[in-house]
Structure 1
Amino acid sequence: MSDEKNLLESLLQQEDELQFSSFSHETAWQLGVALVEAAKQKKKGVTVDITRSGQQLFHYALPGTAPDNDEWIKRKNNIVNRFGHSSWYIGQSLKQAGKTLEEKYLISTEHFAPHGGAFPLIIKQVGVIGTITVSGLPQQEDHELVTSTIRTFLKRQP
């Protein structure tokens, strides 16, 4: 099996694994703070966003970020909301297909960014209800910061 195929399967496996039993405003706050702290520990300037059912529950911009990061977050979130998969997964599947977003789905990169950093907020036995997003690093690092922090956060939950 090719490395690209393995990557896509691994990304889908993350979506199966990194799911919440429930997700409240307090959960958003705690996870958002965990993402900010993880970025600070790595000395990375990122913007963090958590949105549930269209309502922004957490948003924080570390030093070194700019309004452009907010625009990237909107565009990455649009990918997750449209396709129900991480923005990194959609970007990698397009790469594997040798197609652009415009070619495959007839949608513009003006409003959609198939770049890593937006991960679906998934409730077990419910589905995707929002997004957990980071912007400011190379796209794979954005994705890894989100997924590694969610994984650690979920392990601490009762």
Structure 2
Amino acid sequence: MSEELQKLIATIEEQENRLVFSRFDETDAWAVGSLLVGLATGRQLPVAIDIRRGEQQLFHAALPGATADNDAWITRKVRVVNRFAASSYLVGRRLAAGGKTLGPDVGVDPALYAAHGGAFPVRVTGAGVVAVITVSGLPQADDHALVVEALETFLAQP
């Protein structure tokens, strides 16, 4: 494994350990989703944004340039977070570090799962992963970074 990949994995792990909620409900989903829409709109990013708690979609927005394909990617990325309890980017980078890809070797169908950046677990202290926030439409590192930026902003609010 390259030193660069090791550093990236450590950075993503640190983000997941740091960006933890004390609570998360529908109001929080709306606020985080709206924050993401504001960030993406201000930069004219062609993304779809999705927040789900289990099977319930709490927030969804498709901005100019986003397509139905982005929604399909969201579904596949969310499955990764729900299955592995880690961000889709972290799962993908860990697999790459081990010389593996997401597929039968790890017990999943790659047509249904995508270990590409953009889906981030919503962790609540004492409860674990309770929801998933996803962005799709940019290169995977940028999808991931946009979610992290929004979470850092939201969680820094008093």
TM-score over 0.5 for the pair: yes
Paired residue for 1:116? 117
Aligned mates of 1:22, 1:102 — CA distance in 2: 33
Structure 1 segments of 4+ aligned residues over 6 angstroms from their partners: none
TM-score (norm 1): 0.96
Paired residue for 2:25? 24
Residue type at the aligned position of 2:14: Q
TM-score (norm 2): 0.96
- The Cα of 1:54 is off from its aligned counterpart by 2.3
Aligned mates of 2:68, 2:48 — CA distance in 1: 9
- The Cα of 1:135 is off from its aligned counterpart by 0.3
Paired residue for 1:104? 105
Paired residue for 1:13? 14
Residue type at the aligned position of 1:151: E
The one-character-per-residue Cα deviations of 1:24-57 (angstroms, maximum 9, x if unpaired) are 1111111100001000111101000001132110
**Is 1:129 matched with 2:108?**
no
Farther-moved stretch of structure 1 (2-11 vs 136-145): 2-11
- Unaligned residue ranges in structure 2 (runs of 5+): none
Q: Is the 8 A contact 1:54 1:130 kept in 2?
A: no
Q: Is the 8 A contact 1:47 1:135 kept in 2?
A: yes
- The Cα of 1:22 is off from its aligned counterpart by 0.6
- Unaligned residue ranges in structure 1 (runs of 5+): none
Q: How many residues align?
A: 157
The one-character-per-residue Cα deviations of 1:56-97 (angstroms, maximum 9, x if unpaired) are 100010010111110000000000000000000011111111
Aligned mates of 1:95, 1:88 — CA distance in 2: 10
How big is the alpha-carbon RMSD for the aligned residues of Structure 1 and Structure 2?
1.1
- The Cα of 1:103 is off from its aligned counterpart by 5.0
Paired residue for 1:71? 72
Paired residue for 1:154? 155
Paired residue for 1:60? 61
The one-character-per-residue Cα deviations of 1:118-148 (angstroms, maximum 9, x if unpaired) are 0001101211011000000010000000001
The percent identity for this pair of structures is 45
